[in-house]
Chain A
Amino acid sequence: MTEILKTISLSIGYDSHPVTSDINITLNDGDIIALVGPNGAGKSTLFKTLSSHIKPIGGKIELLGKDLLSYSPKERAKLLGLVLTERPDDMFLKVYDVVAAGRYPYTDMFGNLTEDDKKVIKASLELVGIINLIDRVFNTLSDGEKQKVMIAKAIAQNTPVIMLDEPTAFLDYPSKIELFTLLKRLAKEQHKTIIFSSHDLELLLRYTDNLWIMAPKKPFVAGNSLQLLKDGVIKDYFKIKYSDNEYLIKENV
């Protein structure tokens, strides 16, 4: 096990107004973490801070033992891949082009793809199970397929960490299950460290072991999902009724 990502008394927020403070977490390779919390809890602020879109207002984030801010944008692009809810919207952009963009940090100044790059692109599409879509126009795909293409892009980017912002948001039930299975496979077989945010609490209790929970004016909590359920943390943070919580515990534990 290698330590990949670590935060030391991290405070996050905008313009020195902290949303949440004192976040201390350590992630190893192969760890898969779901970030949950009601709207306005600061999930996307944490997400943007960890992906270095915004700067922390206090504390430190270490990626592979080095301060996240000390990496150049190019170096960071080889360490941390993103899958977002925003989708490319271009009439002629092909699936292949989108996944090829993942090779951007590795190509020469003209962006020419080498034979190795092309192999990585195909292998990424195969890993996600959508090699049959390679020549399709991205815009014509279903939401689930688009999601997989973006994940293939992140795999082609070949980063130890992959962060996904609400990857289940637009998916139907079977696609959600498929996505969880895929993420687990990536963590286990490719030793990726995976962080994703989600609102699907019910599914998360069933499919993920570890949760990060955030809520407004409450401390950041990390822990085993079922333990957090039993301890009543989930009940408190999501304002779930006592009887409903008992039901959730009965169903899942």
Chain B
Amino acid sequence: MKNSKIVLVFGGIILLGLILFVLNLVVGSVMAPLDDTLKVLFKVDTNNTLNVIIFNYRLPQALTALLAGAALAVAGLLMQTLFRNPLADPSMLGISSGASLGVGLVILLTGAISGAAISSFGWWSTIGVSLAAFIGAVAILFVMLAFSARMKNMTTLIIIGLMIAYLAGSITDILKFFSLKEDIHAFVIWGMGSFSGVGTSKMTVFATSIIIGLIATFFLSKNLNILLLGDMYAENLGLNIKRNSVIIILVSGYLTAIVTAYCGPIAFVGLAMPHIARFLFKSSDHHLLIPATMLIGIDMTLLCNLIARMPGLDGNLPINAVTAFIGAPVVISVIMKSKKQ
């Protein structure tokens, strides 16, 4: 692909992102006319009910979607290259299952100790759930890191990751069995994913943590590129295989853990976006793929958030239903295309 064409495709993706971002501010149960929205955004007109809707709800939600999209998509790219498996994504590490387990534990313990549903605990029901998701995700991440530091073989690592995910999943199911009905409902809602949980209050922490992780991925492109040759070649070229996989799993897992803690387990973004990036740019160079995957992930989550928030749906459509709806056809078409080649 020529450089001019690369710039053109990048420009297209960014433009689409900008349009989707503005639409995210405009569209909702209360439609905000574009000119009014812009006035509110650039503080020309502050005496408006729109001010509240946009600054308190829509802007933080769009920013959450944007950051989560970039993070999940690039986390998926790291996993696919590390495992050299086109169907790898961060869920393979058991991160989402770990987060679910953490949330399950909190919900059950709250219910068991107090006898009341978690929803009756006010702040604890939101902060507690995010915290539990994060601790659960990080705990599983450390288990996986311990395994990856010992193992050179990526296939065994995938199997261990999947087994741990199943294990965490089954413990969560057992916990759910003993939980109160209202708590199970809260758990199911969390599992559907949402970009509205961050809000203005937690935005600084969320954005800072995500941006740190995103910057870290740019330092990985060199090692990711030679991993494409296979482990033996990479090792001969001077790469420390074990240390490198620990670092890649750490960065990918960190990003996934934060997004899952704040937004719930969001599927398909990490799996499907790297494929779109590869096909658009016809490249496997990570210097290109890392920013491309982030930007495409941003477009994707902004689009999903927009669809979930269409007038009439009123933000009730779970994000996971939308991501899978768009993600699944993409994965199928990529597999069909790669079979043909």
Point out residues on A near B: beta carbons under 8 Å. 51, 53, 72-78, 80-82, 84, 86-94, 97-98, 101-102, 104-105, 107, 109-111, 139-140, 153, 157
Contacts and interface: CB of A to CB of B under 8 A. Distances in A.
23 contacts: A73-B235, A73-B240, A74-B238, A78-B238, A80-B236, A82-B233, A84-B233, A87-B230, A90-B228, A91-B341, A93-B284, A97-B228, A98-B229, A101-B225, A104-B226, A104-B238, A104-B239, A105-B237, A109-B219, A110-B221, A110-B287, A111-B221, A153-B233
Contacts, number: 83
Interface-central residue, B228, B278, B282, B283, by most chain A CB under 10 Å: B228
B278 A97 contact: no
B215 interface: no
Interface-central residue, A75, A101, A157, by most chain B CB under 10 Å: A101
A157 B239 CA distance: 14
B341 A88 contact: no
B48 interface: no
Contact of B232 (A53, A110, A111, A140): A53
How large, as a class, is the contact surface on chain B? 20 to 34
Contact of B237 (A75, A101, A140): A101
A209 B284 CA distance: 41
Given A92-B282, A92-B283, A111-B287, A105 B238 contact: yes
B238 A76 contact: yes
A142 to B, nearest CB: 15
Contacts of A93: 228, 284
Contacts of B235: 53, 73
B202 interface: no
Interface of B: 84, 218-219, 221-222, 225-226, 228-230, 232-233, 235-240, 278, 282-285, 287, 338, 341
A111 B225 contact: yes
Nearest to A100: B225
Contacts of A80: 236
A53 B238 CA distance: 11
Contacts of A82: 232-233, 236
A58 B229 CA distance: 31
A102 B237 contact: yes
Nearest to A110: B222
B221 A101 contact: no
B228 A88 contact: yes
Contacts of A72: 238
B284 to A, nearest CB: 4
Nearest to B223: A111
Contacts of B238: 72-78, 104-105
Given A90-B284, A110-B222, A84 B232 contact: yes
Interface-central residue, A72, A73, A77, A87, by most chain B CB under 10 Å: A73
B84 A111 contact: no
Given A73-B239, A104-B237, 19 more contacts: A75-B238, A77-B236, A77-B238, A80-B236, A82-B236, A86-B233, A87-B230, A90-B228, A92-B282, A97-B285, A101-B229, A101-B233, A104-B226, A104-B238, A105-B237, A107-B222, A110-B218, A110-B221, A111-B225
A104 B278 CA distance: 22
A82 B240 CA distance: 16
A147 B239 CA distance: 22
Nearest to A163: B236
| Shortest 5 CB-CB contacts between residues of A and residues of B | A111-B222, A77-B238, A82-B236, A92-B284, A74-B238
Contacts of A53: 232, 235-236
B288 to A, nearest CB: 10
A157 B338 CA distance: 31
A117 to B, nearest CB: 13
Given A90-B228, A91-B341, A104-B226, A51 B237 contact: no
Nearest to A86: B230
B338 A101 contact: no
Nearest to B238: A77
A94 B225 CA distance: 12
Contacts of A75: 238
Contacts of B218: 110
A157 B284 contact: no
A45 B287 CA distance: 36
A86 B229 CA distance: 9
Nearest to B286: A111
B218 to A, nearest CB: 8
A60 to B, nearest CB: 21
A81 B219 CA distance: 25
A87 to B, nearest CB: 8
Contact of B219 (A74, A78, A110): A110
Contacts of B228: 88, 90, 93, 97, 101
Contacts of A84: 230, 232-233
Contact of A88 (B219, B230, B239, B282): B230
B336 to A, nearest CB: 13
Interface-central residue, B218, B282, B284, by most chain A CB under 10 Å: B284
A94 B222 CA distance: 16
Contact of B229 (A78, A88, A91): A88
A87 B232 CA distance: 10
